[in-house]
Each structure stands twice: as structure tokens, then as C-alpha cells.
Chains A and B, each alone.
Chain A
Amino acid sequence: MKSFFLALLKSRAGLFGFVLVLVFVLAALLAPYLGLPVPTRSNLVARMAAPTWTGLFSPGAHPLGTDELGRDILSRIVHGSRVTLTIATAAVVLGGIVGTLLGIVAGYYRGMVDRVLMRIVDIQLALPLMLLALLVIAALGPSTTNLVVVLALTSWLRYARIIRGQVLALREREFVLSAHAIGAGTWRIMIKHLLPNVLTPALVVATLELARIIIMDAALSFLGLGVQPPNPSWGRMLADGRVYISTAWWIVTFPGVAILLTVLSVNLLGDWLRDYFDPKLRTMR
């Protein structure tokens, strides 16, 4: 643990990503205790109040202004992050586990198993993932569980493809033969020998996916199929605020910045984690 932070301190990008992710996660966890206004309470007197620091019309103290119903934007962003981060993380973990395992199975067994799995991936990739998500949500209704499942469903195939390719190459390596030679069975080889070898690429995919899923979740919310009002969500705030962009730019800007920063920090942290977990790079530190 100590060496983890020491290593982190040496990488500026990694540290930046880590701190930002930490801030977002803490803000999400502690949202009810931060003394922010209730995110769903409207105040028609203070409609579209500008951020306090702009010096424009700003009744009450709203650091990031209020929206068209006079709700505090900072509070809505912080509370919105709880839902967004929970859904995105759950979907990434679920999709990652399913996709990685199926990828290992396909790459290791090859033959029929591989062909069937990869054709499913091909078929699914041929459909626009957004369309697929819309279809499922429209049919099943927009609940948090459904959102997680749908987002994981659009995500597993990216892991499966990449991991399969890695495993196809790995299974021909001599250490797989040596593992056989010490009496390791198929599952032991897949879980104990191949899985640790593909964790790094899986982690890289996961960071890219987390970013993509946050955006997709926002897009679903934007279309009204994500988190339902009055609960705040970043995508929804973008959707509702975009009509006021010429008169009250802050309504649409700050949720957008929140999405941007989250995605950026996750990517930076992921990049750094990949290097950190690569044993080849480890001794150089």
C-alpha cells in the first residue's frame, strides 16, 4: 500500500486522475452531509440564478447557479454523481467479469465455443449499441437495475474480443505447456495462469468502458430513458439545460464539465494503473 502511494506521487497524470476520482467518489458518498441545498427543491424566485462569482443576477448563494426551476446546480451535480457513478461502476464490473471470462473460454477452447461466442459478438456489434439499449429499456422500463444490465450488455463484448485475442496468443506459450506438465487442469490454467496475464488489458478496457458508459448513461438520461425525474442525473441536466444555452449557459455547462472531468480522471488513473500492475515496468521504479 505504501509503495502504491509512493509510485503514485511520481506520476503527475496518475496523481491528478487519482485525486479527481477520489474527490468525485467522496462527494458522491458524502453528498447528504455536505450541507448542500436539497437538489430537488425548486425556488421560482431564484430561477436561472447565475453562479455567484460571475457578479450577475444571483439571489441566494449558488456557487454554480440554478436551473430553470431554481434548483441548485452544484447540489444536483453532486447528487447526480451518486446515481451515475453507481450505475457506471456496476455496469463496468458486471460487463468486465462476464466479458473477460467468456473471452478466456473462447480463446482457450477455440473451435465451436469460440465461433458461437464471437458470432454473437459480431451480431451485437453490427447493431448500434445505443439502439439496442433503447430497445431493451423501452421494453423493460427504466429502473436502475435495468440500466446496469443494459449497459453491461453493451460492454461485455469489448472485453470478450480483446481478451480472446490475447488468450489465443497466450495459450501457445510454453508456460501453458509447463502448467499442463505440473498437472494443472483446464480451469486451473484458465483462472490461475491465463487470467493474471489478461488482467492488464482487461483493466485498460475497463477504464475506456467506464468513460464510455458514463457518456452512454448520460445519453440515455438525455433521451429520458435513464434516471427518472425529479432525481438529478447529468445527462438529464444536459437535456433540460440545452434550450437555455444562450441565456443561462451555466445550466448546461457544469453538468457537461462534470462528465468531462470524470471521464478524463478515470482514463488518467486507468493509464497509470496499467503501468503499475505490469510487473515488467515494476522494477524500473
Chain B
Amino acid sequence: MAPLLEVRNLTVAFDTPSGTVHAVNDVSYILEEGETLGIVGESGSGKSVHALSMVGLIATPPGRIVSGQVIFNGRDLLTLSQRELFDLRGKEIGFVFQDPMTSLNPVLTIERQIAEPLRRHFGMSKSQARAQVIELLELVGIPDAARRARQYPHEFSGGMRQRVMIAIGISCNPKLLIADEATTALDVTVQAQILDLVRELKRKIGTTVIWITHDMGVVAGLADTVQVMYGGRIMERGPVRSVFHDPRSAYTWGLLKSLPHGGRRGINRLYQIPGNPPDLTKEPVGDPFAPRNPFATERCKLETPPLVDAADSTPGHRVAAWYDLRAELARMEAQA
């Protein structure tokens, strides 16, 4: 069976007054139907931009898709016309955005906002849409849906609004749901509730999900596959277990080391990745993480490592690195 989404060599740049920003560089991956992909990376790693650019949601100019193909359900999204993209967005690909405080239109009722994609894509009448809206609100766990539907966004709490955003995202039963930092603005308990909701929805309606976040914990709890991005490139990707327990990229390793672990042995100092985020206005040459990587070799600075299967690991675990992280870590261990 053909995969649901195949991204091939996607490269996106922004032309700004201070130079061309190479936001996404040669990103390729495959997403199977029903899979949950977690994309992690710091700000500016290109994780959001690559998702938005797939469906034409970045402003052009300054944005520019330099090259690549995005095959979704047998069609290359990058060749679609404006019109076709309008018809696709919200219907086949749903979105949930970061800030539930600002992602809802403050002067429209919740009902109107959830009904909009239904009316837009399925031509439903107001009353048909209303029934659907109430069903959706109940599905995402909002009690007293009929009354709540008539309220405005400010009458909802942050977690409730995020539930509404999810209801909008799944309203047309999209094949793919892209959640961009969907739980970042929420406090931890609400975040846990939303993650539970997403897991439950996945079980009920089986949507394929791309979950973009910088929270490794969220990915660990939600995703099947994790993809670590840095400087607009994929550094490592693979099954969550494999990547988290046996990272092969120094960047993934650094990210995992800088997470607090439940302290068994008293206070542990958190690891800190040295250096600064990459300057994306520079021509992308070599491994983008090389300047901050204690294990970087001369080759890392000159040649970009391809994403290849990691040696003796789970199938599907791929990494872009010239160095051998396992060997380096073993050497470090021996020295200590």
C-alpha cells in the first residue's frame, strides 16, 4: 500500500532583508496511514515551517519552496493550485495550532467556528452543521455541548479552547491531522488531558497524526515514530523506543540528557548543549549540529551526512551522522 504522505527533498527558504534563511533543507520522510509521527526540535529547526509549507500556509514572499515533492494520497501538494489547496485544507488535512488563546476568532461563537469547515467543505446547512458541531463537542469531551456551542471563545478555559481547536481540526474527518505545538501553551495537567483525548480520538477515528512539539515527553507518550530536526534537517528518526533508548545522533543524545530524570541519586546537574542555535542565513554546508557537537569530525563541517539506517538497530531507525555515537560514548565512559 502506498504511504499516506511522502515528503521528498523538501527545501524551503525565506528571503529576508538580512539574507536568505534556509529554514528547511532537503527533508524527506514517509508517513504511513494510521501512524503517529512526533517531530521534535528547538525553535527554528524547521519543524513547523515544513508542515505549513506542505499545504501552502507560509506567506510567499518572503517564503519560497525551493524544491521537493509532497505526495499526499497520490497527489503532489506542491503542484496544486490555490483553489485545490483551499479545498484540501481542513477537509483532508486538519490543523491544530499552538495558542488556543489566539487561534479562535474572538467575535464568532464556537458553533460558527466549528461549523465553518463543515459548511465550507460539505455545503451543510446551518441546522445540519449544528447537529454535527454538538456531536464533535461531545466527542472532544466538552460537557453541556448545546449550550457551550453558543458561547464565545473567551468564555472557555485554555484547555477547553484547545479541545475546540481539535474539534475544528477533526471536523471533516481528515486523513491527516497536523498538530503544531498543540499542548505547549497549556499547563501540565491540562496537557495530559489533551494527550489522553488525542489518544482516544485516534482509537475512535484512526486519523494519522503529525505532532509537532519541543517536548520529548509528549512524543514519548503519544507517537509511534519520532523525528528529530535541527537546522532545517532531519537528524534522526525511527521508532520512539529505539530512538529514545539508543540515540545515534549527538543532538538527540544531548536533548535526552538535558531532560530531568526522576532523581534517584539526589540532585543531578542537567546537561546543557553548548553553543547557540545555528545561523540559518548561512549556506547550509555540512552537519548543521557540528559546531555544537563535542564528537564532530572534520568531515562533519564540510560534508552533509545523509540520513541512513542506523547500524544494528531497529528497522526504520535512521540517522544523519558521520561520527559513531555509540563508539564515542563508549570511549567517554572508558575515560571517566
Please report A residues at the B interface, Cβ cutoff 8 Å. Answer: 173-175, 177-185, 188, 192-193, 196-197, 199-200, 279-280, 282-283
Q: Is the CB of A197 within 8 A of B107?
A: yes
CA distance A184 to B91 in the complex (A): 11
> A183's contact among B99, B104, B105, B117, by CB below 8 Å, is which?
B117
Report the separation of the CA atoms of residues A254 and B107 in the bound assembly, to the nearest whole angstrom.
Answer: 42
Mark B residues whose CB is within 8 Å of A: 55, 57, 82, 85-91, 94-95, 97-99, 102-108, 116-117, 120-121, 152, 154-155, 165, 168, 171
Bound-state CA distance A206–B120 (Å) is 32
Number of A-B contacts (CB under 8 A): 80
Evaluate contact between B102 and A174: CB separation under 8 angstroms.
yes
Once the chains bind, are B117 and A182 in contact (CB under 8 Å)? Answer: yes
B103-A178 in contact (CB<8A): yes
CB-CB under 8 A for A182 and B116, given A196-B108, A197-B105: yes
CB nearest to B118 among chain A residues: A182
Secondary structure type dominating chain A contacts: helix
- Do residues A279 and B106 form an inter-chain contact, with CB atoms below 8 A? yes
Instruction: Choose from A181, A183, A188, A280 the contact partner of B106 (Cβ within 8 Å).
Output: A280
The residue from A173, A184, A197, A282 contacting B102, defined by CB atoms under 8 A apart: A173
**B178 and chain A: residue at smallest CB distance:** A181
Tell me how far the C-beta of B150 lies from the nearest C-beta in chain A, rounded to whole angstroms. Answer: 11
Complex Cα distance A283/B155, Å?
8
**Roughly how many angstroms separate A196 CA and B168 CA in the complex, as a whole number?**
19
Contact of A182 among B102, B120, B154 (CB under 8 A): B120
Question: Could you tell me if A192 and B116 are in contact, using CB atoms closer than 8 angstroms?
Answer: yes
Q: Give 8 nearest A-B pairs by CB, closest first.
A: A182-B90, A181-B95, A183-B90, A183-B89, A182-B117, A174-B102, A174-B103, A279-B152
Query: CA A52 – CA B57 in complex, angstroms?
Result: 73
* Neighbouring A residues of B107 by C-beta, 8 Å: 196-197, 199-200, 279
Enumerate chain B residues within 8 angstroms of A178, measured Cβ to Cβ.
95, 97, 103-104, 165, 168
Residues of A within 8 A of B97 (CB): 174, 177-178, 181
* Contacting pair A183 B108 (CB below 8 A): no
Q: Are B102 and A175 within 8 A (Cβ)?
A: yes
Q: Are B168 and A183 in contact (CB under 8 A)?
A: no
Known A175-B102, A177-B97, A279-B107: A183·B88 in contact at CB below 8 Å? yes
Q: What residues of B have a CB within 8 angstroms of the CB of A175 in the complex?
A: 102-106
Cross-chain contact A182 with B106 (CB below 8 angstroms): no
Interchain CB contact (< 8 A) of B105 among A179, A199, A280: A179
What are 27 A-B residue pairs whose CB atoms fall within 8 Å in the complex? A174-B98, A174-B102, A175-B103, A175-B105, A177-B57, A178-B95, A178-B104, A179-B105, A181-B57, A181-B94, A181-B95, A182-B90, A182-B94, A182-B95, A182-B116, A183-B85, A183-B86, A183-B89, A183-B90, A183-B121, A184-B116, A188-B120, A192-B108, A196-B108, A197-B105, A280-B106, A283-B154
